[in-house]
Every structure is written in C-alpha cells, then in structure tokens.
Amino acid sequence: MSRRRRWIVNVFLGCLVAGSLHDIVRDQEHWPFSQYPMFSGIWRETSFSWYRLVGVEPDGGEMILDDSRYIRPFDQSRMHLALVRLAHGDDAERRVNAAVANALERYERQRAIGQHDGPALRAMRLYLFEWRLDPDARNVDTPDRRQLIAEVRPAAGDAP
C-alpha cells in the first residue's frame, strides 16, 4: 500500500467518521449522515392524528387508502409527513389541494396500467383522522374523529 494510497484512504475514513460524529454530537442530519433520531422522543398520548387519503368510488362509497401500494412511490409515513409540512407552510390550502390532486392522478394512472387492483375513483379526499389507541387496534378503520381537509376530482377527461 503506497503512502499516497494510504493518505487517500485515511482522508476517506476521516470524512466518514467525522461526518457521522458531527451529526451525532450536533444532533443534526446531513443525509446519508444522521443522528438517527427515529423514536427518540417520548410518546405519552393515548390518541393521535394522521393524514389519510381516502378514495371516493363511483357509488359514493369511501375507501381508505391505507395500503401504500395505492400511494406509490410514497408510503404512509412519508405522505403524512409531507402533508404536515405542506399544511404548515405558506399557501397551505392550494398546496395541499395540489398534493391530493397529484395523488389521485398517480392512483388512476397506476390503476390503468395494472400496478394495483384498486377501484376507479370519482374523487380523492384528504382527512385528518384521530384515533384513541386500542390495545388490539380494532378501530384502525373507524377513527374517533375525521376532519375533511381537501377533496379533489379528476381533471376533465380523466374522470372514470
């Protein structure tokens, strides 16, 4: 191993270790470096709220889209957190509506090419669900409260 090669490897290793320690010590995140803060807070509440997309079928029935295959490439965690950021930013109403419209457009496009077997939708709604935690999670489909945040319909020509 030449001196030059060893120097290069040492600099590389130093960057890896220093970057990791920096984020841990400073409690910061510079992906792929991280302080790994997941689950680090204390959860004391016995109820919680979560943004949930809900499809409206042609007969008016609602279908909760709590399976991530309906909201690909998002998942339930990322979609909720993105909506939280949009809902708390500037021009929240317009941006949240645009986000739901985009989710509906992706749902229908992926349905049309067979990427999921969900029904055709005539609209998509965004609710803020609130649950009281049940020891058996029996109320997962029947939240204690639901607040309608947005509803969008397919753009003209896209309607099922």
Partner 1 sequence: MTNRWSPIAAWNRFWFEPGPAARLGLARAIFCGAAFFFYLPQDFSEWATAAPIFWMPIWLFSTLHVPVLSAQSLFVMQTVWKVSLAACALGLCTRVSATVAAVLGTYLLGLPHNFGATQHFDTLVVFALCILAVSQAGDARSLDSLIRSARGKDHSSRPITGPEYTWPIRAMWMLTALVFFGAATSKLRHSGIEWVLSDNLRLLLMRAYYHVSDGDPLTSLGLAVARRPALAQLCAGGALAIETSYIVALFSRRARPFIGAAGLLLLVGIRALMGPTFEPYLICALFCVPWHRIEAPLVRLVTRPTPVSVLVDTAPARLDISI
**Residues of the shown chain interacting with partner 1 in the complex, contacts defined by CB under 8 A:** 1, 5-6, 8-10, 12-13, 16-17, 20-21, 23-24, 27, 29-46, 48, 50, 66-68, 72-83, 85-86, 95, 98-99, 101-102, 105-106, 109, 131, 133-137, 140
Neighbours of 133 (CB within 10 A): 11
Q: Which is nearer to partner 1, 68 or 118 (CB)?
A: 68
Query: Cβ 151 to partner 1, closest distance in Å?
Result: 17
Opening angle at CA 81, ends 79 and 87, nearest 5 = 100
Q: Which is nearer to partner 1, 57 or 115 (CB)?
A: 115
**Closest to 69 (Cα-Cα) out of 122, 105, 118:** 118
Q: Which is nearer to partner 1, 58 or 132 (CB)?
A: 132
Instruction: Name, in order, each residue with C-beta under 8 angstroms of 28's C-beta and a sequence gap of 6 or more.
Output: 22, 35
